[in-house]
Structure 1
């Protein structure tokens, strides 16, 4: 345990987050996501939905401000033109943590899977709502 760091950030998660550089991405995914197929480090976070985890992540990780869309979410075919409920909540939490508007873009499921093969870490939350899967690009600490 460390002072001032939420216990949700154990050593398995702190290490890959600390190793990330500017523009590196992490995946934050729901319970249905095939996390191990990405062949990247996987950390399971229990007791937190994807938006709840984003709230906590925002205390440690800056979100990229060099790109138009630092957040990518898996497109929900039932909401093809706009984010679904969990996606709106996640984006809202990220914006609250950053104190600024953040661009977000949808990516089709198979393209999302492919992008996850390039992330620094896959964080599996207890998010049960479908399409609660996100990529977040790390920004710079100013």
Structure 2
């Protein structure tokens, strides 16, 4: 155990977050996301929700301030303007936890999959809410 580190951040995930550089991206995915087949290393976190994981990750990782979209979610198929409960929760967490809060932006489903395939890693959570997926771009610590 470590002080002031959320215990849901596993050793493997802490290593991954530390190994990431500025501009690298990490996916926090729901239980339905094709994490293992998407390309990047998949870190399992089945006992955590995507919201819990987002809060834990943002407690140690800065969001990028050099891009307009450091937090991306998957748009609802057929209704890209809809804001699923998970996404509304993500925005609240970013607003209250991130050192550089940003507005969550949406990506079309297949564009999200393509972007996720290029990420540094995927954290597959046990999130059961639909559209509980978010891509975060790592920033710098000043």
The equivalent residue for 1:45 is 45
The equivalent residue for 1:112 is 112
Q: Quick one: distance in 1 between partners of 2:141 and 2:79?
A: 34
The equivalent residue for 1:127 is 127
Aligned length: 142
The equivalent residue for 1:13 is 13
1:30-85 deviations in Å (ceiling 9; x for gaps): 00001011221111113321112111112101111111111110011264214211
The equivalent residue for 2:57 is 57
Give the CA RMSD over aligned residues. 1.6
The equivalent residue for 1:97 is 97
Q: Quick one: distance in 2 between partners of 1:83 and 1:27?
A: 19
Higher helix share: 1
DSSP 3-state at the match of 1:35: coil
Q: Quick one: distance in 1 between partners of 2:18 and 2:73?
A: 23
Structure-2 change in CA distance of 1:99 and 1:8 (3 Å)? same
Q: Quick one: distance in 2 between partners of 1:75 and 1:55?
A: 21
Q: Quick one: distance in 2 between partners of 1:6 and 1:132?
A: 20
Structure 1: state its 5+ residue gaps: none
1:98-119 deviations in Å (ceiling 9; x for gaps): 2554122111111111111111
TM-score by length of 2: 0.91
Structure 2: state its 5+ residue gaps: none
